[in-house]
Structure 1
Amino acid sequence: MNAITKRQPRVELSTSALQHNLKCVRELAPQSKTICMVKADAYGHGIEFALNALQDTDAFGVACIEEARQIRQLGCSQPITLIEGVFNEAEWLEASQQQFECVVHQQQQVDWALAHPQIYQQNNLKIWLKLNSGMNRLGLQPDELLKAAHQLRAAGFELVLTMHFANADVPDHPLNQQQIQTFLNLKQQLESIEASCCNSAAIFNWPELHFDYVRPGIMLYGASPYSDISAAKLNLRPVMHLKSNLIAIQHVKAGQVIGYGSRFTTTRPTRLGIVAMGYGDGYPRALTHGAYVSIHGHEAPLLGRVSMDLLAVDLTDLPSTINIGNEVTLWGDNPSVDLIAQHNNTIGYELLCRLTNRPKRIIF
């Protein structure tokens, strides 16, 4: 039995895995520039870690100016695109000075650009003109976009036509072709405009749509953009491994209940392992039957309800040599974060982004 001297949930982050996944993007889209999405603290992986690992990217993409400021404060001088654009005139001026390229998706943002073109243009920045091609979240309608493009070009701005897929993870969804056709029609009308429409799933689905820029997100971090294709099958490596240790073992008779709510009753004598990990660390509480952890390569099913600091797993069918102090993998190579997400009726993106700061970060 190993001695436990401290509670030690941890997040292990692999630099080589992140670089491998960027290489995969380059191989899939060799003629396009790559804008690595690092919004939401690099999908929960830590922005400083991601910047250091992704130095070979052409640019970074973030949601808003606050995230771009953080990148500059960390000493990174690479181009940055604000995917939601700016939210007021002062932010437009700051973006111009700090050399942040802006997505423009509404007329008010167009007006700010037209009112203050000089610094933006002096820094050779491009405006990313967002088309609402059918997702109906952000973007200008086709007629509005053509008008804005005419105004901005007349004022001397260089433009990139962009959009976002609503169902890129479902390649045969009928809205995909509608969005593609709308985008291609606008691209043709605007003549010789640069273009970008591919997120992670679209990078795999439509090589003919890679155009000038691709915008990988979840695939960089080694999770799958699909619900029915694993990251491993896509040649992606998990960047994050969430780990902890067994801190106690209980021997429970048949007919005993486990955990809060007494939701699980044992049907046999059970060797129960207690893991120092819970929703206070960011591990999901609302897991369905079938979720498991890995201990020395063996799968140990979760039993009962995940609590704030602890969870219970079934060791009964595992080797008796597994004991207190042994390392436990909550997600990583096996199980993958996508599998745990499926058992939580969500997607891997959410689990990665909602980890708390309690687990220690370890970079290797």
Structure 2
Amino acid sequence: MRQATVYIDSEALQYNLNRVKQLAPTAKIVSMVKANAYGHGVKDCLAALAATDAFGVACLQEALEIRELGHQQPITLIEGVFSADEMQSVIDNNIEVLVHHHVQVEWLLAHKQQYIAKGLKVWVKLNSGMNRLGFKVPEIIDIIQMLKAEGFSCVLAMHFANADADHHPLNEQQKAQFLQVKQACDPIMASCCNSAAIFKWPELNFDFVRPGIMLYGASPFVDRSAHDLDIQPVMTFTAEIIALNHIQAGESVGYGSTFVAEQAMDIAIVSIGYGDGYPRAFQKQNYVSIQGQMTRVIGRVSMDMIAIDVTDLHAPLGTEVELWGKDRLVDDVAIANGTIGYELLCRMSARPLRIKI
């Protein structure tokens, strides 16, 4: 049987959740499990996140999946509902909405009595400079005050555009606007910290933090690894060596013959490719790990196979190769691919075997 396998480490996920608690001890944790738990498989991850205070998802379908799996923690739709007819399902399933434009506010007000009776909070999004979703100052102050007067329990929410950058001027602008609105609407619950902000600005943790990528053991920073941050990779992506070849100087490997051997070498063919979610277009030299030892990927990635250099390595047929995980960090693979770890994790295909450990 072809062995391309994704291992999901429940203990690592629990470790990372506890890391959030260490960094934000007074805040409640809204664990982000959107996009199938960042590609890790929401079904496999929810039990390990049982100690979280709440879940965050992008859409109603994701929230209903959590409810169908039997989990009763609060859930927040971080993009709100997409149509008026979703509101009744939201209320019936005790799901909280975020509002970021006026039509959503109208839908919310139309269901005011039911929503409030369920004790559900409404999250109100501030657009402080990212310019995706939300109300700008001073409009958001009027909306929050109106919702509070109508009897709603509100959470002021914001998302940083550059929390991973130390000196970006928009960070201070966003902080200032958030604090301005928070003060104007006091008392109000508040939430603005994603993974990067949880590490950088503990004074901004407030009532709720919203960890995402750090839960899964990947870094929100370009210049700080998961090991630097004391978080543990949750996903280990592996495949096996299915063929061994000895080639001479001048021989090429793979489509386009882009790799040409400069000397005699041993290569191994590994049962993985872009059909499994392994990236194809590398801008820098990429590596895999065999028993903790890094070795380079050579030639183009195919749909089902890659070639690696195993010269001077003990790597017989059937040897397990770590594509990313504990040794070869997904963030390092992403850098070589010119992208971010988030993308590689989220675009995993359903093809590899998944095993929860």
Indicate whether the TM-score tops 0.5.
yes
| Unaligned runs of at least 5 residues, structure 1 | 1-5
| 1:102 corresponds to 2:97 | yes
The equivalent residue for 1:337 is 330
1:173 and 1:334 mapped to 2: Cα distance? 31
Written as runs of structure 1 = structure 2, the 5 A alignment for 1:50-129 is 50-129=45-124
Cα distance, 1:128 vs structure 2: 0.3
Select 1:179's aligned residue among 174, 182, 186: 174
2:337 and 2:79 mapped to 1: Cα distance? 29
1:164 and 1:285 mapped to 2: Cα distance? 31
1:355 and 1:211 mapped to 2: Cα distance? 34
The equivalent residue for 2:33 is 38
2:53 and 2:78 mapped to 1: Cα distance? 16
1:288 and 1:144 mapped to 2: Cα distance? 45
The equivalent residue for 1:146 is 141
Cα distance, 1:24 vs structure 2: 0.2
SS in 1 for 2:228: helix
| Counterpart contact for 1:107–1:148, Cα < 8 Å | no
| 1:326 corresponds to 2:319 | yes
Deviation string 1:114-135 (CA, Å, 9 cap, x unpaired) is: 1210111011001000000110
| Counterpart contact for 1:130–1:162, Cα < 8 Å | yes
| Counterpart contact for 1:97–1:120, Cα < 8 Å | no
Deviation string 1:299-338 (CA, Å, 9 cap, x unpaired) is: 11000000000000011142xx321111100000121000
The equivalent residue for 1:136 is 131
Task: Tell me the matched-pair count.
Answer: 357
Cα distance, 1:340 vs structure 2: 0.2
The equivalent residue for 2:209 is 214
Task: Please report the TM-score for the alignment, with normalisation by the length of structure 2.
Answer: 0.99
The equivalent residue for 1:21 is 16
Select 2:261's aligned residue among 266, 270, 276: 266
| Counterpart contact for 2:5–2:354, Cα < 8 Å | yes
SS in 1 for 2:65: helix
SS in 2 for 1:233: coil
| Counterpart contact for 2:284–2:337, Cα < 8 Å | no
The equivalent residue for 1:223 is 218
* Runs of 4+ residues over 4 Å off in structure 1: none
SS in 2 for 1:301: strand
The equivalent residue for 2:271 is 276
Cα distance, 1:93 vs structure 2: 2.0
Select 2:306's aligned residue among 285, 308, 311: 311
Select 1:162's aligned residue among 157, 166, 169: 157
The RMSD of aligned alpha carbons is 0.8
SS in 2 for 1:343: helix
| Counterpart contact for 2:40–2:235, Cα < 8 Å | yes
SS in 2 for 1:274: strand
